[in-house]
Structure formats: C-alpha cells, structure tokens
Amino acid sequence: MATVHITRRERFSAAHKLSLPDWSAEKNMAVFGKCSNPNWHGHNYELWVTVKGTPDPLTGFVVDLSELGRIVNDKIIRYVDHKNLDMDVPFMKGRLSSTENLAIAFWEQLKEPLEALGCTMHCIKIRETENNHVEYHGE
Amino acid sequence: MATVHITRRERFSAAHKLSLPDWSAEKNMAVFGKCSNPNWHGHNYELWVTVKGTPDPLTGFVVDLSELGRIVNDKIIRYVDHKNLDMDVPFMKGRLSSTENLAIAFWEQLKEPLEALGCTMHCIKIRETENNHVEYHGE
Amino acid sequence: MATVHITRRERFSAAHKLSLPDWSAEKNMAVFGKCSNPNWHGHNYELWVTVKGTPDPLTGFVVDLSELGRIVNDKIIRYVDHKNLDMDVPFMKGRLSSTENLAIAFWEQLKEPLEALGCTMHCIKIRETENNHVEYHGE
Amino acid sequence: MATVHITRRERFSAAHKLSLPDWSAEKNMAVFGKCSNPNWHGHNYELWVTVKGTPDPLTGFVVDLSELGRIVNDKIIRYVDHKNLDMDVPFMKGRLSSTENLAIAFWEQLKEPLEALGCTMHCIKIRETENNHVEYHGE
Amino acid sequence: MATVHITRRERFSAAHKLSLPDWSAEKNMAVFGKCSNPNWHGHNYELWVTVKGTPDPLTGFVVDLSELGRIVNDKIIRYVDHKNLDMDVPFMKGRLSSTENLAIAFWEQLKEPLEALGCTMHCIKIRETENNHVEYHGE
Amino acid sequence: MATVHITRRERFSAAHKLSLPDWSAEKNMAVFGKCSNPNWHGHNYELWVTVKGTPDPLTGFVVDLSELGRIVNDKIIRYVDHKNLDMDVPFMKGRLSSTENLAIAFWEQLKEPLEALGCTMHCIKIRETENNHVEYHGE
C-alpha cells in the first residue's frame, strides 16, 4: 500500500503589515523594520497544499485535485486574494499576519474539509518572496 | 562600434489598489474588479531596467552595473519597496497605480540620472504577477 | 502620448507530433527525430500575448486584461488545452503543429478580436520547453 | 558519519490521458475531466530523483551524479521522453498514467540499479504542471 | 505549541574545481570529469537555510529573518561570494568543494550562531545548477 | 511570407574574473569590485540564441533546432562549459570577459555557421546572474 504525497499550488496577492497596535511606531520599526510601514505593503504569495494517501486502484488518484483546488479556493483563496490580510480576513482576526501565522491559520481552515476527501493533511508551504518561505506540518 | 543592451533586475513589494475616488464602489468594481478592494492588496513587483551603449574598450562595460543599481535604488526602490504605491510615493501622486502608469513614471525618474552615466535608456519592464507584465520604451 | 506594451501569459497542455503523412517513417524520423513518434508526445506550452497602446487617462489601462484574457481563452485556450493539436484544433487543420506554425495561427485567431478592444497586436510568444520558444510579430 | 541527500533533475515531454476503457465517455469525463480527452494531451514533466548516503571521504561524493544520470536515462527517460505514456512504456502497461502511479513505477525501475551504486533511494518527485507535483518515498 | 519551519534563500557566485592533488590529471578526469578542469570553473550557487521553532506569540516570528540573514552573510556569504571555494575559504581548507561537503561545512558554520537566536537548525540546501542540489540535516 | 523568431537556450558553468593586468589591485578593485577577486569566481551562464526566418512550408521549421543546437555546442559550449573564460577560451584571448564582450564574441562565432542553415542571426542574450543579462543584435 504505497503512500504518495500530492501538492497543489495556488497563488494570491494581498496587502499586509507587521505592527502591534500597543507598540510605538519606533518599537514597531525596531522589531519589524520596513514590514511595519503604516500604509501597508503587499506580496504575491504562493501557497502549496500537500496531502498524502494511497492512490485509488482504479483512478490512480490520492485525491481528486479539482476537488482539492475547489476547497482551497473556497476556504482560503477567496478570503485572501486581492485583500488586506489584516483587515479583510475573518480567520486572521487578532493574529499578526506573519507568514508563520498564515501557515498555521491555513492548516486550521483546510484540515477538516480536505481530510473529508479521504486523504491526510501533510504540509502547508507559503512563499512570501523569492527569498523566504515557511512550512507547517500541523504540530 | 557594437551596441549592447544591458539589463538589471530589482524587486519591490508594495500595496496598491485601482479605484477612482469620483466613482462609486459599484463602478470601480465594474471597471477594476478585485483590484479595487478598498483595503488594498499588493504584489511582489519585478523591475527590469535596460540601457544600451557601446562597451568601453578597456573595461568591457556599457555601464557600471553597481552605479546603475545605486541609482535605481535611490530614485525608485527606496520610494516603493514595502510602501503603498497610492499613499507613499511622491512621483505617483495623482496617477492611478496601473502597471502601465508605474512604467512611465519609473522611466521619467530614471532617464536623466541613468543617461548621465553615459548610456541610453532603452526599456522599463515591470512584472506585477507571473501572468502579466508591461514594457515602456519612452515614447 | 506614451505607447506601452502589455503582456498576458496563458498556459495549455497538449499532445502533438511532427510528421508528414506522405513521408515514410524513416524520412519523418530523419527530419523530425523523436518529435515524429507515431503515438504522439506532448508539452506544457506557455503563451504570451502582447498588445500595445496608449494608457487610458482615467484608468491607466492600455487594455482591460480581463477582457483580453477572456478573448485568448475563447479563441485559443479552449481549443488547445488538454487537446491534441493535430486532431482536435480546427484552426490547425492541414498545418504541421511546429511552434512556428502555432504562433502564426494564434496571431490570426487573435488579431481581429483583440484589436476590437482598442489596442494593437504586437507579439505572440510560445515556449514549448524551457529550452526553446518562438515569437511572431504578424509579418 | 554525515548523511547527505542529493537530487538530480531530469525532464521529459510525453502524451497521456486518464480514462478507463471499461467506463463510458461520460463517466470518464465526470471523473477525469479534461484529462480524459480521447485524443490525448501532454506535458513537460520534471523528475527529481533523490538518493542519500555518506559522502566518500576522498571524493566528497554521495554518488557519482553522472552514473546516476546515466541510469535514470537508461531506466526511465529513454522510455518516456517524446513518447505516449499509455501506449509506448512497457513498465506502465495496465496502469493509469496518473502522476502518482508514474512516481511509484519510476521508483520500482530505479531502486535496484541506483542502490547498486552504494546509496539509498529516498524520493521520486514528479511535477506535471507548474501547479501540481507528487512525491513518493517507497512505502 | 506549533512548530514552523522557516527558510531563507541566499545566493553566491564562486569558482571551484574537483580534483585531488595526489592523483594524475587522467585519474582526476576519470573520476571528476569536466569538473576537474585545472583552470577552474564556477557556479551561481543558491543556498536555502531552514530553521524551525515555535512562533513568538507577540511577533508571530520563529526567528527574526533579518538577524538570520545577517548571520548567514557574516558566517558564509562574505567568505564564498565572488571567491574561489578551493583557495579563498578558510572553512573549506583541506576539503574537496563537492556540494555535499559545502553543505556539511555550512551547517557547521551556522548551527551555533543560528541556534543562539532561539531556534533549531533544520536543513542546509544548496543548488549548484538547475539540475542538481543537495540537502543536509546535521547527522 | 511570415517571419518568425526562434530561440534556443543553452547553459554553461564557467570561472572568470574582471581585472586588467596593467592596473594595480587597488584600481581593479575600485573599478570592478568583487568581480576582480584574483583567484576567480564563476557563474552558471544562460545563453539564448535567436535566429529568424520564414517557416518551411513543408516542415513548419525556420531552422532545424537540433542542427542549431549542434552548432552552438560546437562553436561555443564545448569551449566555455566547465572552463575558465579568461584562460581556456581561444576566442576570448585579449578581451575582458564582461558579459557584454562575451555576447559580441559569441555572435562572431555563430553568425556564419548559423546563417549557413538558411536563417538570419537576430540576437545573443546572456544571463550571468538572475539579476543581470545582456543582449547583442550584431551592430
């Protein structure tokens, strides 16, 4: 019974900033640097969702990638694409939009509906710029 | 006397939106779609600056790329990186931040100081997402 | 009146082969090499459609990219994506599916409907593999 | 004794389709969507083969990458490049050419000859399009 | 307590060769092929440094990426960028500059100063060309 | 009679440095910066060779890309791949190995043999790093 990991990439473009409302502009600049610009900045984020499972003997599929894509769009992309991560996204309310926190929040949004497809969640990977990315495996 | 084109890539991450203040939210949505989100969105922009000239017989250089990079950073990148293109950038005041308008504005910012290095401006290319980019040749 | 070039990328995955029915298998192999495999092979093609024009003073757009994308999908992508270029595509009937011929055919499909948007067709670029691509400018 | 993973990328362009001969065209379309096009479609596949082992104290090599490349070409690439995965590939006979099944089949083809080089097979990764890929670790 | 992996990419351009001084030119060529060219060759290396840890509840950061970047530059990049890996790099003295050996040496350079930031070293990944890369996890 | 441009990419990995033997180390450093490191550095160069012509009515080819590739390898790649551009390459003797000069030299090497295939040389493009490239059109 072979276990295969399968990954789908999605993309979204969003505004955000890193700053704590309780901190002074100086402290936010000291800790978050240019990411604390009060008027926001933004990124083209790349998101890779990886699930794992045993390929179906008939179809050869671990999961129907169209179904998986539909769920990722329904639970994540429509909330974050061309949005402000700090103002527009219900499941990010009260959390700083660090890439680390985004990965954890996306995992929470996706785990249950994706596993209902009959596979196991494996990893959320998010690339913020070509020079940095994070990965979260759910624990 | 060979003419060679040389290109340097720079990157910046910025927030922006496309909407006209005189228009209703409905009209902005009809014309600009999801790019009109009132709370902004953002991109990792890639910028290619191309100049042309004859390589120096001694150094083999059309232009000193470090000098060129210093000017692009001084005239463009420090104004736009981790900024809001619509709120923070002096040379974009009063212009919608379409990629087309950005390319024209960058050309205007760079032409004189770059040509002072002894080369000719050739092209500003900006990629907003992996699926769209613009080029401007100064006329 | 600034002229800006704007480019949209689309992708499609298709099967094809290069072989002439009047030639022997040996001659097809001699001329087309492994591309003549009788049972087809295939590619992930990337297509860049470039138009040019003057940005609208109000919107900053040379063209509405959503409209452009809709037309490229309507005139090209729905005919070629997940299809066989030699069997399934009406506008390729009777032409070998060399990347050169594809570029010319795509130009013919797109020129009139895209120029109806108020811009000028500039270039069709198609990348067949990471090591080869073609460009066609309409003449 | 350090264990290092080393990966070589290869590429191949192939035609395939996903459809079960016992199913109606309607059922194949319902399950496999556009991938079931009877006249095939195709992809530029990217393949990453990862082995692991201890670098040789003299050469610094886990494995001779030229040897590894020769084996990957001999056991995989010459069978699949510019071929039809469903008609031309002996080791895919009787299996649907889902990317999952390809990864398992490639592992089976490579494990023995690669481990004869003195390393351990670690992963087969295959990217079918820029938006999806699979990984298989042999169990 | 979620554990997130975070990765930063750096780049460096360096000369090197693979050859053992005790071996004849013929033996070096037989084992190392074109990599043994006596007058060196070179690469644009890409380096991914991955650490892991729990995001700070306030900042959402596993680690301050600017700090991490400063350390990678201080301990690695300034020694190897635009250098000869076999002649100019103190920590590579006496080791062949195979990509495997580079990864192990970089790990040794970085583990202590990076873990002083409060995270755990996870992986050094180095890509030598677009067709080969290595990964080292510290054991 | 349609004119199509067709481009083939090749890659080579080479060592080089930028420094003039008549200049002091200080002057070389002032002009060429880290590129003047006496012990060399190196790059993974990417080379795009573009020719243009009318597709053959039978084959749909502007030029046989295999033939073109064979010539590029015979006239360029075998001289520069895994070599030192300043010590090993006959056609670079007496020229600084700036990317500009490489492009001019490659054009001179390729123009006659490629045009013997029945096409017209259009452009040599060389990318030295992901942040800079040059183009030369033969005049």
Q: Which pLDDT score, from 0 to 100, does residue B42 have?
A: 98
Q: Which pLDDT score, from 0 to 100, does residue D53 have?
A: 98
CA-based R_g, chain E, Å: 17
SS (H, E, C) chain D: CCCEEEEEEEEEEEEECCCCCCCCHHHHHHHHHHHHCCCCEEEEEEEEEEEEECCCCCCCCCCCHHHHHHHHHHHHHHHHCCEECCCCCHHHCCCCCCHHHHHHHHHHHHHHHHHCCCCEEEEEEEEEECCEEEEECCC
Q: Among candidates B119, E74, E82, which has minimal Cα distance to F28?
A: E82
Answer for the pair E33, E58: CB distance below 8 angstroms, yes or no. Answer: no
- Residues F104-123, mean pLDDT to the nearest whole number: 98
How far apart (Å, rounded) are the C-alpha atoms in residues B57 and B77? Answer: 31
| E1 pLDDT higher than 90 | no
**Is-catalytic flag, A133?**
no
What are the residue ranges spanned by the domains of chain F?
A: 4-136
A33 close to E (CB below 8 A): yes
Cβ–Cβ gap B130/A16 under 8 Å: no
Contacts of residue B32, Cβ cutoff 8 Å, sequence gap at least 6: B17, B18, B19, C59
Cβ–Cβ gap E55/A100 under 8 Å: yes
- Helix (H) or strand (E) run with residue C71 in it: helix C65-72
Q: Which pLDDT score, from 0 to 100, does residue C1 have?
A: 81
CATH of domain A4-136: 3.30.479.10
Q: What is the pLDDT of residues D118-134, one digit of tens each?
A: 999 999 999 999 999 99
D123 close to A (CB below 8 A): no
Q: What is the pLDDT of residues E33-80, one digit of tens each?
A: 999 999 999 999 999 999 999 999 999 999 999 999 999 999 999 999
Q: What is the pLDDT of residues C86-108, one digit of tens each?
A: 999 999 999 999 999 999 999 99
Mutate to test the interface with C, among B92, B124, B132 (most CBs of C within 10 A): B132
Q: Tell me what the pLDDT averaged over chain D comes to.
A: 98
Cβ–Cβ gap C42/D39 under 8 Å: no
| E131 pLDDT higher than 90 | yes
Q: What is the pLDDT of residues B56-109, one digit of tens each?
A: 999 999 999 999 999 999 999 999 999 999 999 999 999 999 999 999 999 999
| Residue from the list C32, C100, C132 with its beta carbon closest to the beta carbon of F4 | C100
Cβ–Cβ gap D55/E100 under 8 Å: yes
Please state, in angstroms and as integers, the Cα–Cα distance from residue B112 to each residue in B35, B52, B71, B72, B107, following that order.
32, 14, 11, 12, 9
| A64 pLDDT higher than 90 | yes
Contact list in E for residue A18 (CB cut-off 8 A) is 59-60
Q: What is the pLDDT of residues C40-80, one digit of tens each?
A: 999 999 999 999 999 999 999 999 999 999 999 999 999 99
Which one-letter DSSP state was computed for residue A55?
P
> What is the ipTM metric for this complex?
0.96
C99 close to F (CB below 8 A): yes
pTM: 0.98
Report which residue type is found at C29.
M
| Distance from chain centroid for Cα A87 | 16
Q: Which pLDDT score, from 0 to 100, does residue B1 have?
A: 82
Q: Tell me what the pLDDT averaged over chain C comes to.
A: 98
Please state, in angstroms and as integers, the Cα–Cα distance from residue E42 to each residue in E35, F44, F49, following that order.
9, 7, 22
Side-chain-side CA neighbours of B62 within 13 Å: the count stands at 32
With vertex at residue F90, the alpha carbon angle to CA F85 and CA F92, rounded to the nearest 5 degrees, is 50
- The residue in chain F having the minimum alpha-carbon distance to the alpha carbon of residue E32 is F82
Cβ–Cβ gap A62/D134 under 8 Å: yes
Contact list in A for residue B40 (CB cut-off 8 A) is 15, 40, 42, 84
DSSP β-ladder status, F4-16 and F83-84: parallel
Give the chains touching D; criterion: ≥3 Cβ pairs < 8 Å. A, C, E
Q: What is the pLDDT of residues F43-94, one digit of tens each?
A: 999 999 999 999 999 999 999 999 999 999 999 999 999 999 999 999 999 9
- Residues B12-37, mean pLDDT to the nearest whole number: 97
| D1 pLDDT higher than 90 | no
Q: Which pLDDT score, from 0 to 100, does residue C63 have?
A: 98
3-state secondary structure of B72: helix
Mutate to test the interface with F, among B3, B4, B46, B51 (most CBs of F within 10 A): B4
How far apart (Å, rounded) are the C-alpha atoms in residues F22 and E33? Answer: 35
